[in-house]
Amino acid sequence: MLKYLFAKEDDIPQGTAAIFFGVSSIAWFIIGTGLGSFNAAKLAFPDFFHGLYALQFGHMRQVHVHAVIFGWIAMAFAASMMYITPALGNTKLWSEKLGVWNCLLYNVGLCLALALLWSGVTSGREYSDHIWPIDLYIAFVMVVPWSLNVWMTILNRRTQGIYTTNWFFAACMFMTIIVFLIGNMPEWLHLTGLNEAYMTWWFAHNILGLLITPVAAAITYYIVPKVTGNPLYSHRVGHLHFWSIVVFYSTPAAHHLMSSPLPEWLKSFASVEGVLILVPAVAYVCNILLTMQGKWAMFVENIEIKFTITGVLLAIPLNMQGGFQQTRAINWYIHGTGWIVAHAHLALLGFSTFAEAAAVYYGMQVLLRRKLYSASLANFHFWMLLIGFSLYWTSMTISGLIQGAAKIYEVPYVDVVIAEHPYMIVRWLGGTMVFFGNIVWLYNMIMTARVGDIVPVGRQPAEVAYTR
């Protein structure tokens, strides 16, 4: 990386920034899931590790969350955008040099942010835990340069049309900056009480709704047609998906606070909008699955499609759960339980992660012009991720239902802890499988870069995946 920081723009090979972001994202995925596994172990076996203040659950949870969101998910998004955006505009990235610097400063900033969280320096707000100097750093050093590269690449495209994926990329980066700056208002302006609570959840909801979910969807809009060779089923359904995300995903933040004294009309509005998130979900899933027509064999044979379509299929329970769990009638039962933790992991470790993993697998092969070192290891990674995630999701969902019942029937807390214990062990087991799967993935990608077979010019990695 260092040799490119001060190189001339023309001397930096295309795809360099995307590769750095891609490798960083895998490394952060390992760190993030390793921390998650450690945290889960502490919940499953309370005597597992104690004595060091910085490694207590209260500190480690935030570090895990931010390592995964800002490290894995966001950097995988950056990697994807930095090779997909130019590819769709038949052009090159606006500035590889900016991308390389962006990647370096992103990693430095994230290390600093996590170190502060680790040492207990926090705003105390869930998901917007960082203190304001770090917020400013994230906004203006990590996100704005990344967005600038995406927007300028689209502006400098050599096509008249803009493909669906690039609508999402450009719009989501714009909306993310707005969400980040406004959502951290409690930190800038010392808002308290209900204003603080609402803004905190407006931020958390919209980071999910206007960055993580739509960008993951945008990635699949690229991977599926590109790898299968099928045209996207419908440009017009893409319109429906895009606009319904903007309209229905940006409005239901109050459904995170259904038990708060927010105005009830606002909660009613948020609750209806929350169910209407099914509109983009239905449009999106229908568009992608219909694009697969005649190519379903690739769901078994091709690693990128396997990851992508699994992610798309996970979007179905994700949105069904999300739509209904926020209604008043259901929310009073599952609010504040492990059910919500399961749902959050369905979004981030399920739908989103599978889409991003596909993009990183595909991007690294295309940019390095090398096919995967080992398809078997990639399949092993897929199954470790899927089984590990499934164990996590089902155990936490059951655990949440137990907690919900206990909350309603006022069962003593210690009895709930005992009842949940087996599920906490399964949760730890599932998370640990994901962690070990990711280590195998990193090994596979390092070996791909070092000794992977060269992909002939003009061929797709998928076309030569099974040739020697």
> Which residues contribute to the site for another protein (CB under 8 A)?
84, 87-90, 159-164, 222, 225-226, 231-240, 243-244, 247-248, 251, 258, 261-276, 278-279, 282-283, 286, 290, 323-324, 327-329, 331-332
Q: Which helix (H) or strand (E) holds 430?
A: helix 413-451
Return d(Cα 326, Cα 274) in angstroms, integer.
7
Q: Which residues pair with 15 in a beta bridge?
A: none
Return d(Cα 365, Cα 374) in angstroms, integer.
12
Least Å distance, CB 77 to another protein, is: 18
Least Å distance, CB 271 to another protein, is: 4
Return d(Cα 438, Cα 378) in angstroms, integer.
10
Question: Which candidate, 69, 181, 173, 45, places its Cα nearest to that of 117?
Answer: 69
Identify which of residues 44 and 245 has a Cβ nearer to another protein in the complex: 245
Question: Which candidate, 26, 122, 120, places its Cα nearest to that of 75?
Answer: 26
Question: Which candidate, 268, 253, 267, 249, places its Cα nearest to that of 197?
Answer: 253
Taking the alpha carbons at both ends of the chain, their separation in whole angstroms is 31
Return d(Cα 363, Cα 168) in angstroms, integer.
18
Identify which of residues 237 and 358 has a Cβ nearer to another protein in the complex: 237
- For residues 324 and 252, the answer to whether their CB atoms sit within 8 Å is no
Identify which of residues 3 and 160 has a Cβ nearer to another protein in the complex: 160
Task: For residue 269, give both structure tokens.
Answer: 């509005």
Identify which of residues 92 and 421 has a Cβ nearer to another protein in the complex: 92
Please, is 272 exposed, middle or buried when counting C-beta atoms within 10 Å of its C-beta (0-12, 13-18, 19+)? middle
Cα dihedral sign, 320-303-71-242:
negative
Identify which of residues 250 and 374 has a Cβ nearer to another protein in the complex: 250
Return d(Cα 344, Cα 137) in angstroms, integer.
26
Return d(Cα 129, Cα 281) in angstroms, integer.
29
Residue whose structure tokens are 């999106």? 284
Amino acid sitting at position 289: L
- Residue 460 has a CB neighbour count (10 Å cut-off) of 18
Least Å distance, CB 157 to another protein, is: 9
Identify which of residues 240 and 439 has a Cβ nearer to another protein in the complex: 240
Return d(Cα 308, Cα 311) in angstroms, integer.
5
Task: For residue 60, give both structure tokens.
Answer: 């480690």
Residue whose structure tokens are 């195998």? 440
Least Å distance, CB 89 to another protein, is: 7
